[in-house]
Amino acid sequence: MNAPADAIFMSAHIPASADLAAVNASVKRYEENIGPLVAMKIDNDMTLLKFDATSPSPAAIAIVARQVDGKPDVPDGATLVTTGQIFLQGAQTLCAATRGT
């Protein structure tokens, strides 16, 4: 994550029981209102999503997907935003977030 020294970050805690659709709905809501997703990880018994509140909302919303064989699937024309372990339906799952252009 390459953010300016004066960046302000906002975090969202998502229940461990959330499914992938709920995680992506949260990413969409926060990116539209706060700023771009910059990190995701497990925080105790929840998923923590971290957003850069000093950057403008992105034109293309990040999409979180499960990694296959430990590798992020980055669609053509998209960029990798971040990777991390998160909870999906109670299971720790390695995921990647990508952003289209």
Closest CA to 60 of 23, 101, 20, 1: 101
CA distance 57 to 27: 11
**Can you read off the two tokens belonging to residue 40?**
């995701």
The answer to whether 73 touches 66, Cβ cutoff 8 Å, is no
pLDDT, tens only, 46-85: 999 999 999 999 999 999 999 989 889 899 999 999 999 9
Which pLDDT does position 70 carry in this prediction? 86
Residue 4 in this model has a pLDDT that exceeds 70: no
The domain ranges of the chain are 9-99
Q: Which of 1-10, 61-70, 76-85, 88-97 has the lowest mean pLDDT?
A: 1-10
pLDDT, tens only, 22-45: 999 999 999 999 999 999 999 999
